[in-house]
Amino acid sequence: MRVAVQRDSKKTEQLSNLAHIVPMPGRKMSIQVGDKAHLKPIIAAIQASPGLNLQPIQDAQDPLKLTLPIPSQTKETRDRAIAEANSLCEMAITGIRATRAVMHKKLRNMELKKLARPDDLKKAHKEMEKVVEKGIENAKTTTQTQCTLIRNA
């Protein structure tokens, strides 16, 4: 999460650079702010985070400590997470296929210029196809596993 330290500045810092974040038992997180000047910008950044709907609670004994209750997932948040995972999977598969196309062009160029033996080119082409299929299968399997975990959470 990015935090705008100065009010009128566009420069932002990572939350982890400004505060120490520790998971707590249950559905809570503890945020120990290092500097009092960063307290309000951190609270504002957490409250303004899109789609999270988080409200930090300031500790009465330690004013630099924030407790952040994490709400349980709803069907809507699970559906959004699954849609995002599927979108990222499609992007990964598109990237793998684009890389395959680049490699195919290189192999074809080597074939036309006779820079390698035909047997070596066929072997390289088969190896490339194996790697591409394995990568696509890995992306799909990982996405399906994560989507199952999200549904069952």
Over the stretch 93-144, which tens digit does the pLDDT of each residue have? 999 999 999 999 999 999 999 999 999 999 999 999 999 999 999 999 999 9
Residue 33 has a pLDDT of 92
pLDDT digits (tens, 9 = 90+) for 52-85: 788 999 999 998 999 999 888 889 889 999 999 9
Whole-prediction pTM: 0.64
Under the phi-then-psi rule, with left for phi > 0, alpha for psi from -120 to 50, and beta for the rest, what region is 114?
left
Nearest alpha-carbon partner for 4 in 50, 54, 38: 38
**Sheet architecture: strand order including 28-33:** 19-24, 28-33, 65-69, 57-58
Architecture of the domain whose range is 2-69 = 2-Layer Sandwich (3.30)
Domain residue ranges of the chain, discontinuous segments joined by + = 2-69, 75-152
